[in-house]
Amino acid sequence: MSSSVVQTKSERTRAIIRDVALRSFRERGYDQTTIRLIAHEAGVSVGTTNYHFASKNDLVQELYLDVQQSHRAAAVPLLADSDDLVDRLGIVFRTGVAQLEPYHRYAPEFLSAAVSPRSSINPLSGESAESRDIVVGLFRDAIEGSSDKLPAEFRDDLPDALMLAHLLLALFWVYDSSAGQVRTRRLLDRGLRLLKLSLPLVRSRLLRRPLRELLDLIAEVKA
């Protein structure tokens, strides 16, 4: 998806390089995509490519943005149809996993390149903030637009916790070799059912202390 208001020649060149790179990531994966190959296919020099994108990982950030913009475009219309909290969270998770599908074949390569906390394409890195914020924002919208009102302490911490849960689900998906990754969808369905059964208990006195502990634990992971 190129920008709709491409103006200067430089911007056009940048958009071409970006589109070529995104197609290459999808068709060749991470390891086999090189700046040299992208330059060749975009019909520009390696120098021009490097002028627009200093490294392959800068182009992976374009891929992340593209994936999460598609995620938002897929989730938002569906969110308009439900005010049930768990349904709404399910929409965000399901449309998120759906965006990843074209990349499953090469997912182990992307995972190896991105998993190190020192990697600029780590989903939790500063460089990845823009695409990560789209996911956090979608979970926040899912919660705020729901008719189920959560205690404030939950509401504030939940979007970040759900973004982490989404990353763990994506990790499971990388490992999922079932046809069409049906096990990932089953795991998600079970997780949502568990959440649905647990939500009415949020205010139960019996569970007040365990839930407080769970929130503190999530805050610890986020910190």
Binding site for a copy of itself (CB under 8 A): 108-109, 111-113, 115-119, 124, 168, 172, 174-175, 177, 183, 186-187, 190-191, 193-194, 197-198, 201, 204, 206-207, 209-210, 213-214, 216-217, 220-221, 223
Given the complex with a copy of itself, which of 134 and 174 has the nearer CB atom?
174
Residues 168 and 15: their CA atoms lie apart, in Å, by: 32
Taking the complex as a whole, the smallest distance from the CB of residue 144 to a copy of itself amounts, in Å, to 25
Residues 44 and 23: their CA atoms lie apart, in Å, by: 16
Taking the complex as a whole, the smallest distance from the CB of residue 122 to a copy of itself amounts, in Å, to 9
Given the complex with a copy of itself, which of 1 and 171 has the nearer CB atom?
171
Q: How far is CA 53 from CA 22, 57, 60, 138, in A?
A: 13, 8, 10, 28
Given the complex with a copy of itself, which of 18 and 132 has the nearer CB atom?
132
Tokens of 157: 């911490």
Answer left, alpha or beta for residue 180, where phi above 0 means left and psi between -120 and 50 means alpha: left
Taking the complex as a whole, the smallest distance from the CB of residue 188 to a copy of itself amounts, in Å, to 10
Taking the complex as a whole, the smallest distance from the CB of residue 116 to a copy of itself amounts, in Å, to 4
Contact criterion met (CB below 8 Å) for 169 and 93: yes
